Structure 1
Amino acid sequence: MEQKFKLKNYMEDVVFSFLDELIRQKQVCTCERCRYDIAAIALNHLPAKYVVTDQGEVFAKTQLLSQQFKTDAVVELLRAIDIVRKNPYH
């Protein structure tokens, strides 16, 4: 039986896990366009964490436990929120 693999940037999960709470705290537009603009800007400034196997995803999740890893994601999200707040595309 052939195993199917899927390439995934685990950093996307990290960004989206913090995104909505930070948007609420910073009182910025919650429309889908602004949410995705914020996520895209943040992801472009964070290192990609690609995984292929379930084992790789488990490894990436253990890195999430690192305080620096969380801090980096939150810092980039806050920077992206500020950019989108000043220049929304709607």
Structure 2
Amino acid sequence: MNGLRNYNEEIINHLISKILSQYNDICKCEKCILDIKAVALNSMTPKYVVTKKGELFTKLNAEFNNQEIIDTTRAITQAIELVRCNPQHNKK
């Protein structure tokens, strides 16, 4: 691992497909999915990691912390609702 990373991206990438599969009425183009991820990430407190050790610690903490999963699911769900009502994929 090189550089600075927000570990919330990993959690969102892990959960987003499962959550999106529950929605039939939302666009799932690449632009809309990226918008959902961006909105969700911007609503969450960042969890930056630099080292592999920090990444592993953060990963273990997230896997054993149900509140972390609940909060991330809520952030993704709220982002889905926002993007569903305001899709940007046809705008330049």
Q: TM-score, normalized by length of structure 1?
A: 0.90
Unaligned runs of 5+ in 1: none
Conserved 8 A contact 1:8-1:51: yes
1:34-62: CA deviation from partner (whole Å, max 9, x where unpaired) = 00000000000111111111100011101
1:14-36 deviation line (CA, Å, top 9, x unaligned): 11111122112112211000000
Identity %: 37
Alpha-carbon deviation of 1:5? 4.2
Structure 2 stretches of 5 or more lacking a match? none
Larger Rg: 1
Kindly report the root-mean-square deviation, in angstroms, between the aligned alpha carbons of the 2 structures: 1.3
Tell me how many residue pairs correspond in the alignment: 87
Any conservation in 2 of the 1:46–1:76 contact (CA below 8 Å)? yes
Q: Give the CA deviation at 1:7.
A: 0.8
- For residue 10 of structure 1, the aligned residue among 1, 7, 11 is 7
